[in-house]
Structure 1
Amino acid sequence: MALLFLEEDPWLTEYESCEKLYRDIMEQLTFRQQHSRTSNTYSQISANVRLRLKQFNNEVGQLNQKLEVITKSGNITLAESERRTRQIEVLHSKAIQMKKIFEEQVISKLNEDRHQIIGPSTSEWASSGDERVNNTFSSVTDLKTNQKKMLEEQERGLENLSDVISRQKNIAHTISSEVDFHNEILDGLGNQMEQTNERVRTETRHIDVVGNTDKTCIYWVVIILLFISIIAVAVI
Structure 2
Amino acid sequence: MALVYIEDSDPWLMEYDACLKLFREIMEQLTARNRHPRKSQTYANLSVNIRIHLKQYKREVQELKNKVDDASKSKTITIEEAERRMRQIELLLSKEVQLQKLYDSQINELANSRANLLTSRGSAFADGGTTSWAGDDDDDDDKKPIDVQVSVENHVNRHNEILQEQDKGLEELCKVIARQKEIGVTINNEVGHQNEILDNLANHMDRTDNSLATKIRQVQNISIKECTCGYWVVIVFLFICIITVALV
Tell me the TM-score normalised to structure 2 length: 0.47
Tell me the TM-score normalised to structure 1 length: 0.49
